[in-house]
């Protein structure tokens, strides 16, 4: 996993446009957040599913980077004063605190469009062929758009200062968090030319770990500290948001996260290859402390 993350970090920097003196500010904004570290959950999943389905990791790398660009743009926008109004992200000042709100908005927009430029780049087309690139671009757009991540964010905003139930939280998180994780897994499968059975199993794995990931996030907002987490804690309560913890309590959240993780691992039985890393990955997401 460490080697894979290093490969992703190097590739992400390589896809950024070069400075030319006129647009340096927006490139600096893009670079600041894109190279700020993080768990790189989504691009790692893309590469791992490509490998599991018999593909080459290098072929899936542009797809993996595109997913991470979408994720990073969403974080930049999430942190804005009009959204969650956060000052810290990954232990560093948030993008708008460094570059200003307008530059942060444009930096996020630029990463969003760069994601699709990357999927349709000459390199991606050469490695995967036009049909796979088009399919990958369509799935990523669907998962990032109004019926995916953006839709989940809208539900999140409109649920502030309201008491919503667990069913509503599941719908929100399936879109806001789960959709992009699903895209990450499916793009790896697409690069490798996976069959329908493998695609369905990857989607099931993504759905389970995506929900477990969000439940653990809600738990950490209560149980962790700002130094460990790299961002303010208690923000959900401060923003008067309903969470799995506020609805179910910590013990039940732990039980559900464990059940989801076990079901995610069970879905990997559909693959004939070595699923050890994906099994460990699911357990690490459940057991993480940041």
User: Which regions of the chain are under pLDDT 50?
Assistant: none
194-228 pLDDT per residue, tens: 999 999 999 999 999 999 999 999 999 888 766 66
261 phi, psi to nearest 5 deg: -65, -45
pLDDT, residue 2, reads: 78
pLDDT, residue 229, reads: 62
Residues with Cβ within 8 Å of residue 153, at least 6 apart in sequence: 74, 78, 83, 176
The CA distance from 192 to 173, in Å, is 28
Overall number of domains in the chain = 1
Domain with 201, as residue range(s), is: 2-287
pLDDT, residue 153, reads: 95
pLDDT, residue 233, reads: 62
pLDDT, residue 223, reads: 87
Indicate which CATH number applies to the domain containing 172.
1.10.600.10
Query: Quick one: how far is CA 249 from the chain centroid?
Result: 25
Residues with Cβ within 8 Å of residue 232, at least 6 apart in sequence: 86, 87, 88, 226
pLDDT, residue 161, reads: 80
């Amino acid at each position: 996993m460490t080697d894979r993350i290093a490969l992703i970090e190097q590739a992400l920097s390589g896809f950024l446009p070069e400075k030319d003196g006129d647009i340096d500010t927006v490139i600096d904004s893009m670079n600041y957040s894109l190279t700020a570290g993080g768990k790189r959950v989504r691009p790692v999943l893309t590469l791992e599913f490509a490998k599991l389905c018999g593909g080459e990791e290098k072929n899936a790398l542009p797809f993996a980077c595109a997913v991470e660009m979408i994720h990073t743009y969403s974080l930049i926008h999430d942190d804005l004063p009009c959204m969650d109004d956060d000052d810290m992200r990954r232990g560093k000042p948030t993008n708008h605190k460094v570059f200003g709100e307008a530059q942060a908005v444009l930096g996020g927009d630029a990463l969003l469009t760069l994601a699709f430029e990357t999927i349709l780049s000459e390199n991606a087309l050469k490695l995967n062929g036009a049909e796979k690139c088009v399919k990958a671009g369509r799935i990523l757009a669907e998962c990032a758009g109004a019926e995916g991540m953006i839709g989940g964010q809208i539900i999140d905003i409109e649920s502030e200062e309201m008491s919503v139930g667990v069913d509503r939280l599941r719908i929100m998180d399936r879109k806001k968090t789960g959709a992009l994780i699903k895209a990450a897994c499916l793009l790896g499968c697409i690069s490798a030319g996976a069959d329908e059975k493998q695609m369905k199993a990857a989607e099931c794995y993504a759905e389970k770990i995506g929900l477990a990931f969000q439940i653990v996030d809600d738990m950490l907002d209560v149980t962790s500290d700002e130094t460990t987490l790299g961002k303010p804690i208690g923000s959900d309560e401060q923003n008067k948001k309903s969470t799995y913890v506020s609805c179910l309590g910590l013990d039940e959240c732990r039980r559900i996260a464990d059940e989801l993780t076990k079901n995610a691992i069970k879905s990997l039985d559909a693959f004939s290859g070595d699923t050890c890393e994906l099994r460990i990955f699911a357990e690490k997401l459940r057991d993480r402390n940041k």
